[in-house]
Structure 1
Amino acid sequence: MRKGKLAKLYTLTTAAALVGSLILPVAPQTAHADRGVVDLWKAIKPLTTIASAMNTGAHPDDEHSSTLAYLSLGRGVDTSSIIANRGEGGQNEIGSELGNALGIIRTRELQEASKITNIHLENLSEKINDPIFDFGFSKSPDETLEKWGEEVAYERLIRKIRTLRPDVVIPAFLNEPSTHGHHRAINVITVRAYKDAADPTVFPEQLKEGLTPWQVKKLYLPAKENDYTVSVPVGAYDEVYGASYVQLGEESRFMHKSQGMGRLYDEGPSFSYYKLDQSVVKGKSKETDFFDGVAYTFTDLAKDVASQSGGDKVASDLQKLQKDADEVIAAYPRFGTVAKEVHDMIADVEKATADVQASKLSADTKTDLLHRLGVKAAQLNKASTESLSLVTKVKPETGELVAGQTTKVTVTAYNGGQVKLGKVDLKLNVPKGWKATPQGTTSFNQLSYNQTVKTTYNVSVPADAALFQPYAAPSLTADVSYSFSGATATSHAVPTDAIAVLPAFALTLSPNATVLNTLKPQEPIPVKVTVKNYNPGATQANISLDVPKGWTVEPKATPLDFAAKGETKSVAFTVKAASSVKPDSYKVTAVASSGGTESKHGAQVIRYAHIGTTYFVQPAELSIQAFDLQVPEGLKVGYVSSGFDNIDQYLQQLGVQVTNLTAKDIESGDLSQYNTIVLGIRAYGFRPELIPSNARLLKYVENGGNLVVQYHKPEDKWKPELAPYPIKIGEPLIQWRVTDENSKVTMLTPDHPLFNSPNKITDQDWNNWIQDRSAYNPAQWGKEYTELISNGDAGEKEFTGTFLSAKYGKGTYTYSSLVWYREIPALVPGAIRLFVNMVSLHQ
């Protein structure tokens, strides 16, 4: 990031200006002329305190953003956020990605949000398909921990606490029945970890790795205004940032665009409340601060150390660091003066570290002091970079690599400050097994104002290099060390976008999931394989399909020639199942063979302005679900997509004639040409033409049409009167859903056409559903509706409004809160058979 040195402070004078700054692309970074002094303040404020805090949550966006902004940006506290999973099970409000692809998006959004509040982010989930995943809504912490693997989740949380050693820990949620089971699970293990992280008999293998037990000083839980220990003034206005901490927190929340997060808040007082749950220091019923009774400054730490045998010298060092920090702050915003004070403090931290190591203090005290000094050293490196207006970059020739490739990567350092730097060393960091060879000098005697030094490296990627993992640390980074005012600092640089090792040939199958109708087993399955060449230059590949035993594919293989990297070509295949094919799940895999190696993966490019570019590498497979399915000939469906599902694509694969309806179609088109019109999930909230045209939709039904409406939330502009007979959505929403995908379903009216034509629906059709049964079920509905099913989670009253259908005039109106948008892409046979029945009424 470039840094500017200015005389005026960054201001966000209105909430509108706050949002205006958010809609600008963040990758590549847009230069703001007034950000230099704000970045400088963000870097030096943490030097004033040795305190630390940790917030724990389950999903991206669970973080207490306003409180984190207050602690980190306002108080300078070393603040961390520990989030369990990646949000894979959620919905997507900016695109069609779901599952792991959505988890990648939400992770990147969380990373960008954390940069805004200047916090340290960690996830318990470590990789794609990790045990700690977002498996969908849960009502139970026990179910959550069972699915995650309680021992796995707990070990990782204890490890984070012992590594980061927070003084204060705050779980984001309470363990209450009205709360998401994932949220409750994080509360349960966080509360338990308060004591266990300090117990050497808990996960003793961590101690063998070098970690030491850590006793958190205080554990706080979220509270309300009528019963709290600490009130956090998140509405306080910070003149440096030109915003309140609520507004700064919301600036970070706007990064969670796939969840539609972020709100506008006016300036003015507001508070967040917390109650002290456990503490090893003497507490009061009302505290002024999270850190009452806890060492907060170097002076506090010095007093503690001075009281111990052999601690006088170290205590003196700590007092000196307090003076250093005060002088850094006093020098603000004079960049050169701040830099001088920062480097004086760097030298004093090095001295204090050496004195601690040589002291006769207890092992526990030494470990604590060395950790806090290590945190301060890292903060000082950042403060040095900012105060010297040093800009360091890693600039790859390409961010898309393949195994065995050689490429060029340049490391640069630019001095935008007014003071001269000495002994600048540029170092490129590469993974184990990679080779980085500099093509010129990596060491420079000096770097003056407005000058750049750089080194280009030849980087060799090994032939066995692993394919890109989106949750791993960046593969290529740089460290730029330099000296100023008698002390050396290091600036750590990472690339703007992901540098990824991708398949030499990325393969995409279309479709990537389909149904094989066992009533027509010899009906051919057309498969298109799109191949993108990621090799650096011209190359050839033989493209083929691996099919199940007894199946056939034509052609057997097709050669492709590529003239350059990035070129894309397609090959068409026809797959036929064995004549004896049985209902089951099958896989077809695409293979690109070249030079004795094979590529069997695809590389989905994920690119959004607010998160930059990343990739999802996954096997190049076509999933085929074989089962009996009757689909009426000539069935015409008009689909009104909200952008949150792709059911229309699957209906087309089944032989249904699907037209995606435009606003003009809905407002003035001939709706009578469609046998059925389907509204996608939450369509009223995201298709603005629907509500003004609702009377046309109801008239379509009255005249004999078949209208299918999928679930809505109340905030999707849903009103009971949008239906021909009122339907009211249940609130709070958390209580009106069925989360057990294996829960028993009873068909209340088994003779209804929806259960009989063209497919006979039996109890077997409710098996093998995924993630959920239903969401946002109705609480009230008109007596005109037929209640089609009853269903509920274990131990709870069953819902009977999940699936409602009514005659209206000559036609039929069906409202369903079953989660079709998850079941259909997952090729759940019963869900597909039932959905076909829904769109086939009156045929």
Structure 2
Amino acid sequence: MRLNKLLFFLLIGLQQSFAQPTVSSIYHGIKKLGVTGTVLYIAAHPDDENTRLITYLANDRLLRTGYLSLTRGDGGQNLIGQEQGIELGLIRTQELLAARRVDGGEQFFTRAYDFGYSKTPTETFKIWDREKILHDVVWVIRTFKPDVVITRFPTTGEGGHGHHTASAILAGEAVKAAADPTRFPEQLALTGGAWRVKRLFWNTFNFGGNSTIREDQLKIDVGGYNSLLGKSYGEIAAQSRSQHKSQGFGVPVSRGEAFEYFKLIDGASASKDIMEGISLDWGARLGSSIIQQQIDSLLLHFNWLDPKASLPGLLNLYQSLEKLEPTSIVTHKKKELKELILAVSGIYLEATSSQLRAVQGDSVQVALLAIDRLGTSVTLERAQVGEFNVVNTATALKLNKPFTVNTKFLVRPSFPISQPYWLQLPMQQGYFVVNDLYLIGKPENEAPLSCTIDLKWGTQVISYQVPVRYKFTDPVKGELQWPLEVVPPVSIQPDELVHLITAANNPIKGHAQVAGMSAQTNLKPELISNKKTKSRVDPLLISSLQKDQLESFDYFLTPKENADTVTLGVSLSNGNRVNTTTTVIRYDHIPPITYFKTASVYTRNFQVKIAGKNIGYIPGAGDKIPDGLKRLGYNITVLDENLLSTISLQQFDAIITGVRAHNTQEWLNKYHEKLMAYVEQGGNYLVQYNTSNQIGPVKAKIGPYPFAITRNRITDQDAAVVFLDPTHPVFNFPNRILPQDFEGWIQERSIYHGLDTAGKLQPLLSMADPDEKPDTGSLLVARYGKGWFTYTGLSLFRQIPAGVPGAYRLLANLLALGNVER
């Protein structure tokens, strides 16, 4: 219900998608039928979009409005949990979809992977496949067919992030390429030919202390109030932007006039409006004045007390649209119109299952429900689940009487699992591999199982696709509906993802659990090594596994190489093999996300010495450092506020904070004196990076001496590293740190460097991105009393889960500082 979803979701929330639209949203939707214009907004990441402008364009101007985010935000920060990389991209995809449900826009993506911060577009294009991502932007333009394209950022670098600038460069190139039939000609037969955008604008801005707006630029007041929606566009936009919860982007509401400024980059000049001179009605644009007259008549005669009175006119309009060539505009308006016909009729359609998931090789119960709550003399002609007919005889729906059908759908063993389409093939550096052109641009998969329901009013038959959803009742939230997912028969979960090879741990003994998604018999655990690691499993056979039951097996690995990847699998009794872990990400503000990752473990052969065993860990926004420390043999105590307030800290050889702990745990300020007393008496306090931006400014004291947190970072993970004091214990005890310990790092060297403002902290490393001056703020160490304090922006939180040897050795040395003199 794209046209209705603004008011629709404001009223009922994200997951309870079964309420009917209001009368005002129905009228709003009919108005939108009469506007044929389209605008595409382009930027680099989730949260780059201008939600206020999107809200205004979609709901005041009634334009079809889309946001193309080149990436899914995989390389960003995560304020709400431990997910990084593709898992964070999955979360941020759903946050963008939640934002669009609020502001009325549509969402698109390219195949580009957000590999983290880059400083220049040159650096960005070294990692992205420029031509491939350009192909995707052109594809979205040719399929969405915008009259106007607007970029958030300029090509000249004022946007800061290299991805930002690259998005503007690609947008400009794509506008030209989309109109050129010699560029990406394989798209033309599928898109209806090339597409010429009328204008390209840059939406100038004033944020971050950088104002690019000028009064001679075209400007529009987007701060109006919509009486149909009962909200101003600033109010709606704030709610939309606040969906980016993983980024800490909750924002205050703005009310009153608010101007957006635009600089023309390409196309015909415009002095008053971005759509100036572009025909927006059916008559002028498509030569279909009869369509425009029918819509105008629907608005003129709309009965606010009886919207059902519009049904005959809407059905006549649908018949008129059926006679037109199925252009992009006609197809989209028919989609909107179909939902409006349901809305004025008071008809509710539902296809649900009481099962959380459908399992390959098993069956799933599906319940169909159709109710004509206003009595519109509608007949249910046919219903089909997947390819199977479940209603073959026309049935007149009675006034407000539920019509239900229950059926069992067999999920073939070969039925595709619900893996997000961009994760189905191994990714390349900088982009996801997607070979199906029709999938490119889509924000997510189509529902794996849908019900086709044909409804007939008089002689008019309209077909509806109703996705099958999992329906259940939460004791607090009430009835909820979640996406139904298709999963393999079993899921394999190794206890450890990284095994460090040591004298005491060779051969490696590991443990894995097998979870039954459906009942299985005669399962055979298996191991596959990329480098001929000698392996065996015990037991060799799991004779039976019930649904929701856990069984386990041990595996033994004798690696022959310094690094190997071993895949764990299970052979089923039908001869199929499963080698995946079913992973579910759950947060209250988005639907549950299911994806599948190969059940692999990684062996790493490198030597790490440790000094001291007992480590206190203060959680931050979430990282996996504790798992890495346990692999090294440390005893980890998680220090929450209650524990930190009651125990003696002197029992710990070191205390380390999680990333952004001082941003997210305001209570830390109360224990600053206790932590500093611990250091002064010989303790060792290691603080991982904190931010200096809107994600959460530091409100607590951090160390014994004042220092500033900057936005400086080193984005080149291969940047040369200079040891400023090679004799310092950090580089010598208990492991000798050498330049090769900085080889094999991923994504970046460091972020949010410290800046010594008191002359008390010693910088130990110097490094620089290409064409920049060296920076020494990534690792700052100070003595305080008998102990040590360290602040580091080094991206250990990325390197440790990835099994980077040098990161383990360096972290072990940082944690050993309190034992240097013992």
TM-score (ref. length: structure 1): 0.86
Residues 539 and 589 of structure 1: is their aligned pair in 2 closer, same or farther, counting only changes over 3 Å?
closer
2:438 corresponds to which residue?
A: none
Residues 331 and 792 of structure 1: is their aligned pair in 2 closer, same or farther, counting only changes over 3 Å?
farther
2:123 corresponds to which residue?
A: 143
**Kept in 1: contact 2:688–2:791 (CA 8 A):** yes
**CA displacement at 1:47 relative to structure 2:** 0.9
Residues 771 and 38 of structure 1: is their aligned pair in 2 closer, same or farther, counting only changes over 3 Å?
farther
The superposition leaves residues 53-81 of structure 1 with CA deviations (integer Å, 9 ceiling, x where unpaired) of 11122222222211111111222211122
1:740 aligns with 2:716: yes
Q: 1:283 aligns with which of 270, 274, 278?
A: 270
Distance 1:377 1:561 in 2: 54
1:296 corresponds to which residue?
A: 280
**Kept in 2: contact 1:514–1:623 (CA 8 A):** yes
The superposition leaves residues 147-187 of structure 1 with CA deviations (integer Å, 9 ceiling, x where unpaired) of 22111111111111111111111122223435212222111
1:475 corresponds to which residue?
A: 448
Distance 1:403 1:135 in 2: 34
Distance 1:525 1:191 in 2: 54
2:610 corresponds to which residue?
A: 631
Distance 2:657 2:815 in 1: 11
**CA displacement at 1:701 relative to structure 2:** 0.7
Distance 2:531 2:311 in 1: 69
Aligned pairs for 1:392-403 within 5 A: 392-396=349-353, 398-403=355-360
**Kept in 2: contact 1:666–1:689 (CA 8 A):** no
1:557 corresponds to which residue?
A: 539
**Kept in 1: contact 2:672–2:701 (CA 8 A):** no
**Kept in 2: contact 1:336–1:418 (CA 8 A):** no
Residues 271 and 339 of structure 1: is their aligned pair in 2 closer, same or farther, counting only changes over 3 Å?
farther
1:243 corresponds to which residue?
A: 231
2:424 corresponds to which residue?
A: none
1:683 corresponds to which residue?
A: 661
**CA displacement at 1:714 relative to structure 2:** 2.5
Distance 1:522 1:2 in 2: 57
2:366 corresponds to which residue?
A: 409
1:611 aligns with 2:595: no
**Kept in 2: contact 1:650–1:825 (CA 8 A):** yes
**CA displacement at 1:553 relative to structure 2:** 4.8
Residues 218 and 551 of structure 1: is their aligned pair in 2 closer, same or farther, counting only changes over 3 Å?
closer
1:542 aligns with 2:534: no
**CA displacement at 1:345 relative to structure 2:** 1.8
Which ranges in structure 1 are unaligned for 5 or more consecutive residues?
A: 13-17, 126-131, 306-313, 358-366, 431-435
**Kept in 2: contact 1:585–1:626 (CA 8 A):** no
Distance 2:506 2:584 in 1: 33
The superposition leaves residues 346-379 of structure 1 with CA deviations (integer Å, 9 ceiling, x where unpaired) of 223234x1xxx5xxxxxxxxx8xx3322222121
2:312 corresponds to which residue?
A: 340
1:47 corresponds to which residue?
A: 33
1:798 corresponds to which residue?
A: 774
Distance 1:642 1:721 in 2: 15
Q: 2:341 aligns with which of 374, 384, 392?
A: 384
**CA displacement at 1:555 relative to structure 2:** 4.6
**CA displacement at 1:146 relative to structure 2:** 3.4
Distance 1:400 1:694 in 2: 48
User: RMSD between aligned alpha carbons?
Assistant: 2.8
**CA displacement at 1:767 relative to structure 2:** 0.6
The superposition leaves residues 726-776 of structure 1 with CA deviations (integer Å, 9 ceiling, x where unpaired) of 11122xx3xx11111011111111110000011100010011100011111
1:188 corresponds to which residue?
A: 169
The superposition leaves residues 12-46 of structure 1 with CA deviations (integer Å, 9 ceiling, x where unpaired) of 9xxxxx8xx7xx86334586x9x523542453332
Distance 1:336 1:154 in 2: 46
Amino acid at match of 2:589: H
**Kept in 2: contact 1:635–1:840 (CA 8 A):** no
SS of equivalent residue, structure 1 residue 722 = coil
Residues 348 and 28 of structure 1: is their aligned pair in 2 closer, same or farther, counting only changes over 3 Å?
closer
SS of equivalent residue, structure 1 residue 594 = coil
Residues 403 and 603 of structure 1: is their aligned pair in 2 closer, same or farther, counting only changes over 3 Å?
same
Distance 1:798 1:276 in 2: 38
Residues 548 and 202 of structure 1: is their aligned pair in 2 closer, same or farther, counting only changes over 3 Å?
closer
For structure 1, which segment, 370-379 or 822-831, has the greater mean C-alpha deviation from structure 2 after superposition? 370-379
**Kept in 1: contact 2:30–2:299 (CA 8 A):** no
Distance 2:545 2:538 in 1: 24
Q: 1:652 aligns with which of 630, 633, 637?
A: 630
1:695 corresponds to which residue?
A: 673
SS of equivalent residue, structure 1 residue 693 = helix
Amino acid at match of 1:482: L
**Kept in 2: contact 1:682–1:711 (CA 8 A):** yes
**Kept in 2: contact 1:385–1:491 (CA 8 A):** no
**Kept in 2: contact 1:437–1:458 (CA 8 A):** no
Residues 194 and 551 of structure 1: is their aligned pair in 2 closer, same or farther, counting only changes over 3 Å?
closer
Distance 1:42 1:109 in 2: 25
Amino acid at match of 2:359: V
Q: 2:66 aligns with which of 80, 87, 90?
A: 80
Residues 324 and 123 of structure 1: is their aligned pair in 2 closer, same or farther, counting only changes over 3 Å?
farther
Distance 2:653 2:257 in 1: 56
**Kept in 1: contact 2:714–2:767 (CA 8 A):** yes
Residues 230 and 388 of structure 1: is their aligned pair in 2 closer, same or farther, counting only changes over 3 Å?
farther
**Kept in 2: contact 1:666–1:690 (CA 8 A):** no
For structure 1, which segment, 769-778 or 494-503, has the greater mean C-alpha deviation from structure 2 after superposition? 494-503
1:59 aligns with 2:38: no
Amino acid at match of 2:762: T
Distance 1:615 1:228 in 2: 49
Residues 586 and 539 of structure 1: is their aligned pair in 2 closer, same or farther, counting only changes over 3 Å?
closer
**Kept in 2: contact 1:438–1:458 (CA 8 A):** no
Distance 2:811 2:618 in 1: 15
For structure 1, which segment, 753-762 or 193-202, has the greater mean C-alpha deviation from structure 2 after superposition? 193-202
Aligned pairs for 1:98-137 within 5 A: 98-125=84-111, 132-137=112-117
TM-score (ref. length: structure 2): 0.88
1:426 aligns with 2:383: yes
Q: 1:446 aligns with which of 393, 396, 409?
A: 396
Residues 283 and 540 of structure 1: is their aligned pair in 2 closer, same or farther, counting only changes over 3 Å?
same
Residues 599 and 296 of structure 1: is their aligned pair in 2 closer, same or farther, counting only changes over 3 Å?
same
Q: 1:591 aligns with which of 559, 570, 591?
A: 570
Amino acid at match of 2:115: F
**Kept in 2: contact 1:297–1:322 (CA 8 A):** no
**CA displacement at 1:594 relative to structure 2:** 3.1
The superposition leaves residues 471-528 of structure 1 with CA deviations (integer Å, 9 ceiling, x where unpaired) of 43222123333233664434332234333332221000011123223xx265453422
Distance 1:739 1:192 in 2: 26
Distance 2:137 2:459 in 1: 40
The superposition leaves residues 335-354 of structure 1 with CA deviations (integer Å, 9 ceiling, x where unpaired) of 21233332232223234x1x
**CA displacement at 1:230 relative to structure 2:** 3.6
**CA displacement at 1:780 relative to structure 2:** 4.0
**Kept in 2: contact 1:506–1:533 (CA 8 A):** yes
Residues 217 and 321 of structure 1: is their aligned pair in 2 closer, same or farther, counting only changes over 3 Å?
farther
Distance 1:639 1:246 in 2: 42
1:726 corresponds to which residue?
A: 706
**Kept in 2: contact 1:321–1:348 (CA 8 A):** no
Distance 2:786 2:56 in 1: 60
The superposition leaves residues 271-311 of structure 1 with CA deviations (integer Å, 9 ceiling, x where unpaired) of 2222222224x522xx1x32111112224326xx4xxxxxx
1:484 aligns with 2:434: no
1:640 aligns with 2:618: yes
Distance 2:358 2:701 in 1: 56
SS of equivalent residue, structure 1 residue 61 = coil
Residues 379 and 775 of structure 1: is their aligned pair in 2 closer, same or farther, counting only changes over 3 Å?
same
**CA displacement at 1:324 relative to structure 2:** 4.0
1:155 corresponds to which residue?
A: 135
SS of equivalent residue, structure 1 residue 608 = coil
**CA displacement at 1:676 relative to structure 2:** 0.6
Distance 1:275 1:717 in 2: 33
Distance 2:274 2:508 in 1: 63
Residues 142 and 389 of structure 1: is their aligned pair in 2 closer, same or farther, counting only changes over 3 Å?
farther
Percentage identity across paired residues of the two chains:
28
Which ranges in structure 2 are unaligned for 5 or more consecutive residues?
A: 206-212, 422-444, 470-480
1:129 corresponds to which residue?
A: none
Distance 1:582 1:277 in 2: 55
**Kept in 2: contact 1:53–1:166 (CA 8 A):** yes
1:577 corresponds to which residue?
A: 558
**CA displacement at 1:842 relative to structure 2:** 2.8
Q: 2:150 aligns with which of 157, 170, 177?
A: 170
